[in-house]
Chain A
């Protein structure tokens, strides 16, 4: 089961290393990790996708381990909150006069943008859920993908609710 965990961290040197080191050391498997600035000065936000057994405890343990890092401000598990989760991908695919139109049609279906065109290639830009990006990649594979870069997922909770930067009290219940 894939867990979507969001962490607010202080924007300081080495913080990414600390988080990555924690996951390596405790044997948690990172599917993807995306980091960027937030609206709060000095605070970055990480979206971490974790593959863990269908055991709520693992997510809980990841959460408490993240909290143990001095530079981690707040951690939220969005897995069961059906968040808006999006990934961006840039795909460079082989294209010639015969295949170009077909690729553009596929791009249209997926609402992908053509951001570069050359005599023998096209670059497509797509944003969407992991599944959508994966399906486009699958569709483009027969045309020969030259390069592919995915950003990893970023996620945000739906509704006007704002994740406070204050951490919640750690409350363990049975």
Chain B
């Protein structure tokens, strides 16, 4: 058998793993792999910053359910990935990061562009490797893919010394054999646990399902739908769970937590049973833990044992794959009605800050609510939306209604500004037939807007809606609520986004009136290249309702009456 270089072996493994796209940025220590890449039918997308490559791989993974791949060189190339890796870690997104490292004989000598990358990324990867022996290369990469996509998914980094990339070895591929004795992602609950859970569910009077990212990660949306309809239990979602249950469904409550609608949080607080499906009781969804759903029993279905009892003590933990467990659990259940409970929740739905602001007349003020509501209408709710982080992100959850899983991609756990544009690029590469929209703020957009040129070079079509309020809006909102309106470092000058778009080979449109919104959206849809729409909106609007950090979940700051009496 003829020998291959380490670089070729790397590409062979990617081929075996079914990789079609790599997002990356070359450099000295990874040049052998980039050279070998030319001989393989795997498309490389050159981002304008390594952070963009990491977010793109993340967006690709979230849109497709497959593993995203990112490459970078040693030192600064690898450290530029850090924010992207941490984002993927907090949101359990499966990506494999391949970084070049200085040759093994100079590792530890502070060689040019040397950084201890496995050290730097240790707490923000699910697992990582430094490869200094060619014989370990193929198996290590194979393991990396397996670890990234199994159990609770996450980022895995493989740091490959340059001499290993150049060394020669036989390429031996063992499809089935992965020897990881300490890694057992396959968990399952026992029969007693099912029975205990079933007893609670069958006897509950006011149950609520809390559906998290696990629904999407485990492709359990159909099982969830069956489960909810069979038991007639209403479904609330975390930010990352949105799309996991159809927004248009009569059992849908919407998003819970800090910016969830009042009836959702109230229902959770009044519930006598919470069914947590693939969610982790983050502080943004619980509010004050000591008063959180005090009268509710809790069933927690979760793939990661470390999440059990971490924030909220649960009565019945069920460890394992959500898809499998839901399928099994339903067989233990009686058909449910909950007419009274559902009626009560329904009666509270009138209490909404969403519908108030949505129908607010223009009066010369364009609101983000108008833009996002119209975007939802003119895309028939079918777009794949990728948001950045901040006010626009919360408004998106309130005004864009997602019926399909993987139709909203957003940085939830880490809250990474600058995520949207590169992640949307990855999402569009994964789903070329989908209509992809970026919704971002003027601040976040400026962090990674250089990727517009990447889109042009790769002829990737998507549209960008900038909700431009001239402030770092969410921080400004907190300053308004909690810091006596002392706007420290939040007013922000932006470049001329129309000209910026044009300079990046895209089309720019500016919109400042409600009647222009429709036309701009339709123009964007019909333009073959990227369109950036600069929506100049009301500067000091806030996201309502809001549960202040540490407050009780049903203690919400509401939109002032003066703003809605028009």
Give residues in A with beta carbon < 8 Å to B.
9-10, 13-14, 17-18, 21, 25, 57, 60-61, 64-65, 67-74, 165, 167, 169-172, 174
Contact = CB atoms under 8 A, between A and B. Distances in A.
A24 B119 CA distance: 14
A167 B181 CA distance: 9
Given A17-B119, A21-B122, A70 B182 contact: yes
B18 interface: no
A13 B108 CA distance: 14
B118 A14 contact: yes
Contacts of B182: 9-10, 67, 69-74, 167
B147 interface: yes
Interface string B110-153: 00000000110011001100100000000000000001000000
B228 interface: no
Contact of A70 (B127, B190, B306): B127
B123 A25 contact: yes
A71 B190 CA distance: 26
B319 interface: yes
A31 to B, nearest CB: 22
Contacts, number: 53
B251 to A, nearest CB: 29
A71 B308 CA distance: 21
Interface in B185-237: 187, 190
B350 interface: no
A174 B197 CA distance: 12
A67 B183 CA distance: 8
A72 B127 CA distance: 12
B317 interface: yes
B315 interface: yes
12 contacts: A60-B309, A61-B306, A61-B309, A68-B305, A69-B182, A70-B126, A70-B147, A72-B182, A167-B182, A170-B187, A171-B190, A172-B308
A72 B304 CA distance: 16
Interface in B166-188: 180-184, 187
Interface centre among A13, A60, A64, A169 (most CB of B within 10 A): A64
A174 B315 contact: yes
A71 B180 CA distance: 8
A67 B123 contact: no
Interface residues on B, range: 20 to 34
Given A70-B180, A72-B182, A170 B305 contact: yes
B308 A17 contact: no
Nearest to B300: A172
- The secondary-structure label for the interface of chain A is mixed
Contact of A73 (B119, B181, B310): B181
Contacts of B316: 174
A170 B309 contact: no
B159 to A, nearest CB: 11
Contacts of B119: 17
Given A18-B122, A21-B122, A70-B127, A172 B180 contact: no
Given A67-B305, A68-B304, A69-B182, A170 B319 contact: yes
A73 B130 CA distance: 20
Interface in B409-430: none
A64 B187 CA distance: 13
A25 B305 CA distance: 17
A60 B309 CA distance: 10
Interface centre among B123, B305, B317 (most CB of A within 10 A): B305
Contacts of B118: 14
Contacts of A169: 187
A57 B309 contact: yes
A72 B130 CA distance: 18
Contacts of B309: 57, 60-61
Contacts of B130: 13-14
A114 B140 CA distance: 50
A65 B309 CA distance: 12
Contacts of B123: 21, 25
A61 B310 contact: yes
A70 B310 CA distance: 20
A134 to B, nearest CB: 34
Contacts of B180: 70
Nearest to A8: B182
A170 B309 CA distance: 14
Contacts of A14: 118, 122, 130
Interface in B393-418: none
B70 to A, nearest CB: 20
A64 B305 contact: yes
Contacts of A70: 126-127, 147, 180, 182-183
Contacts of B122: 14, 17-18, 21
A61 B306 CA distance: 6
A29 B281 CA distance: 24
Interface in B341-378: none
A172 B305 contact: yes
A23 B119 CA distance: 15
A7 B184 CA distance: 16
Interface centre among B118, B130, B306, B317 (most CB of A within 10 A): B306
A10 B190 contact: no
A21 B119 CA distance: 10
A10 B127 CA distance: 14
Closest 7 CB pairs of A and B: A64-B305, A172-B317, A73-B182, A70-B127, A64-B306, A70-B183, A65-B306
Nearest to A72: B182
A123 to B, nearest CB: 34
A15 B531 CA distance: 49
